[in-house]
Amino acid sequence: MPNDDLKVISIITRKGGAAKTTLTRALVSAAMSQGKRCLVFDADPQQALARWANKLQIDDPLFRIEALTMVNELTEKVEEAYENDTADFIFIDTLGAAGAWADDLAVESDAIVVPMMLSDDDLEITTDTFNWYVGLRDRAEDPEALPSFHVVLANVPAKQSKAELAIEEKAVAQFPVMDDYFMHRKQHKDASSEGFIHHIAESRRSGPGHLRVQARHFDEAIEEASSILASLMEAT
């Protein structure tokens, strides 16, 4: 039977190094930790997420990843997952371009998430992305059918500088910024070499005492991503 609860989340930014792939991986890990089946489309030309999964030989029945080179393939793939009930979430790590490609992508999405680091460059790029979304609503026959739009402040340090606080203030005034930060955490770097965060937490809990202590920090990272994911679901 079709899965009417299937959600499609696209993570998009036009700036490299803005934690897009890291955020995608964390959201997927959060969903999997709740027993949700995740289908991931890597549409970024760098294929960073797909290469990561292949390099580490990620093997989990809740996780499947495919490259997506043409957006016109997306409609068919989403429809197949919906009709055959093969996923609870579809995450799309996008190429980050505006224009027709992004327009078509948005039509298939339930939520668009834009990670933004606290820099002037990121603020400018996020402004461009938000302006694209506003323009899309103007172009759409039914704007209310479009996905919700969310900015996530990403790679946020534990203690922000005055300049970073000023950029955050500007962002909150301009965009729909989520309440939850996506913090700068060593655990995300560990995930790039070891696997999904929730898998690492599980392995640490079953290890020696000093590793069990580390598990708590991975649990905190999952809780953070889970909170972001829950907020996205409330908005769809």
Tokens (6 digits) for 78? 């989403």
Give every CB contact of residue 97 below 8 A, 6+ residues apart in sequence.
14
* Confidence at 71, pLDDT banded by 50, 70, 90: confident
- Residue with the two structure tokens 């704007």: 143
Determine the residue type at 15.
K
Tokens (6 digits) for 186? 């060593």
Beta strands at 7-11 and 89-93: parallel, antiparallel or unpaired: parallel
CB count in 10 Å sphere of residue 224: 19
Q: Is the pLDDT of residue 101 over 60?
A: yes
pLDDT, one tens digit per residue, over 146-179 is: 999 999 999 999 999 999 999 999 999 999 999 9
pLDDT over 70 percentage in the chain: 96
Lowest mean pLDDT among 141-145, 217-221, 228-232: 141-145
pLDDT, one tens digit per residue, over 18-42 is: 789 999 999 999 999 999 999 999 9
| Torsion, CA 168, CA 173, CA 179, CA 185, rounded to 10 | -20
Q: Is the pLDDT of residue 188 over 60?
A: yes
Residues 204 and 215: their CA atoms lie apart, in Å, by 5
- pLDDT for 119: 96
* Element containing residue 156 per DSSP (H, E): strand 148-156
- pLDDT for 227: 98
Residues 74 and 57: their CA atoms lie apart, in Å, by 25
